[in-house]
Chain A
Amino acid sequence: MRYMMIIHHDHEAMAKAPQKELWAEWAAFNEALNKAGAGFSGGLRLTPGKEGTVVRNRAGKSDVLDGPYADTREQLAGYFFIDVDGIEQAVEWANRCPSSKYGAIEIRPIVEQNAP
């Protein structure tokens, strides 16, 4: 089962963490992800939510706003993919992710596209 692991983190809490250690942990985590197998892929990191732009199109009228999509403390910050047997292993990978200490990891099973 493939899962998209969505990282929501609290930017302030992350900023307070010892940065050198945090990014060393992230480097090790990415190393482990990359070695784990074909269905795994290391994550991409996003800039803080307040630097985002939100576009809505309603009845042909485009509405463009600055700032985060949702006004919450924990913002979408990145993601990675895993390919494991089930939810137990997915939870284990979420616990390995250094960002789980500063926010939350949302585990979303990927809908398998069956070949026609």
Chain B
Amino acid sequence: MKHSEIQSRVKKVISEIIEIDAASIPDNANFIFDLGADSVQSVSLVAAFEEEFDIEMDEDKALEIQTVSDAVEFIAGYL
């Protein structure tokens, strides 16, 4: 899967969980600092990424992901 496609789908997931416009999400946005995710949303993101990409991520490492670009890199490693 292309990097740009992963990024686009990651932003779509984020936009659904955090309820913001996907187009307004910068590539290197921090979920909490830039997008205002709360702790529940941060956990929900991990589950939503797994469902979106049909993968099972290492939970501890997945919870350390803080930015869109980190998420894209991390998920790419599973595909």
Q: Do A and B come from one complex?
A: no
Could you list which residues of chain A lie within 8 angstroms of chain B, going by C-beta atoms? none
Could you list which residues of chain B lie within 8 angstroms of chain A, going by C-beta atoms? none
